[in-house]
Amino acid sequence: MSNDDEVFFKWSPEYSVQIKTIDDQHKVLVDILNRLFVAVSKREGDKAIAGILDALMSYTQKHFSLEERLMYQAHYPDLEAHMEEHRKLIEKLDMLSKKYLLEDKPIYFEMLSFLKTWLREHIMGVDQRYSAALRDVGFSAEAWEQEATAEFAVMSESKKWWELWK
């Protein structure tokens, strides 16, 4: 998306958690959110939008799973609270998707605004807190990153979500 007018959520270096794998996955989440915005703005149709919602849910769950394992391996003390935040987001995403699919309610802008706020606040809040805590205790994410990158590639192989906007 080269046109800045079409960028609903612009990635900024201030969102970085200083762990490349996590930053890269956050950037993809931002891209999916921007793709959803474009689809809604251009009224691309229910099929395209449902596909992007599915991609968003699938990618988010995979990302959360890897992020939680990183925190677990690093013995992060606030893991439970962080997992609860993740669980609540998945629940809300699921509820909004069902509202759209089952009740045919136009929830796009509600969802876009919720996700943009949630993603920004989550990354700049609890995600940056855990990455700082990991650095403080000297946990090196490098070994974890190699394993996670390989595993994420396998996890993503079954869902070719990126084909939705080629």
Q: Choose among 112, 127, 17, 13: nearest CA to 81.
A: 127
Residue 1 pLDDT: 43
Task: Return the number of other C-beta atoms located less than 10 Å from residue 128's C-beta.
Answer: 16
H helices within the chain, ranges in order? 20-41, 46-73, 79-103, 108-122, 128-136, 141-157
Q: Choose among 159, 163, 166, 161: nearest CA to 29.
A: 161
Count of domains for the chain: 1
Q: Can you tell me the distance from the alpha carbon of 81 to that of 71, in angstroms, rounded to the nearest whole number?
A: 11
Q: Residue 98 sits in a domain of what CATH number?
A: 1.20.120.50
Residue 2 pLDDT: 47
In a domain, 132, yes or no: yes
In a domain, 137, yes or no: yes
In a domain, 87, yes or no: yes
Residue 61 pLDDT: 92
Question: Which domain range does residue 46 map to?
Answer: 19-159
Per-residue pLDDT in tens (0 to 9) along the chain, 166 residues: 445 556 899 999 999 999 999 999 999 999 999 998 998 888 887 788 888 888 889 899 999 999 999 999 899 999 999 999 999 999 998 888 787 777 766 677 888 898 899 999 999 999 999 999 988 988 888 877 887 777 777 766 655 554 554 4
In a domain, 36, yes or no: yes
Q: Can you tell me the distance from the alpha carbon of 68 to that of 40, in angstroms, rounded to the nearest whole number?
A: 31
Residue 103 pLDDT: 73
